[in-house]
Amino acid sequence: MANVLMYTTGTCPYCMNAERLLNSKGINDINKVRVDLEPELRIKMIEQTGRRTVPQIYIDDLHVGGFDELRALDQAGKLDGLLAK
């Protein structure tokens, strides 16, 4: 299975939806980076992704984007292949 990293906050509904979708695909070990608890990591996230919103999701070294992009990959039938690597 792929390594999944997700920049998140404790109350973000899109983060929760992303986690639910990943869990439904058998990904239960998500490396979560809580940017609400460690603001310096939010700065790192913005520098890496160019985005300020959460979630920001990486599958292995590929920046997928947020929940909408993750869901679009799933609907296009491409998410399973990325997660199987």
In this structure, what CATH number is given to the domain that contains residue 40?
Answer: 3.40.30.10
Q: What is the pLDDT of residue 1?
A: 86
Task: Report, as an integer, the average pLDDT of 14-26.
Answer: 98
Query: For 32-66, what is each residue's pLDDT tens digit?
Result: 999 999 999 999 999 999 999 999 999 999 999 99
- According to the model, what pLDDT value does residue 49 have? 97
| Number of structural domains in the chain | 1
Whether the per-residue pLDDT at 72 is higher than 80: the answer is yes
Name the residue range of residue 16's domain: 4-84
Predicted pLDDT of residue 62? 97
Tell the burial category of 18 from Cβ atoms under 10 Å away from its Cβ (0-12, 13-18, 19+).
buried
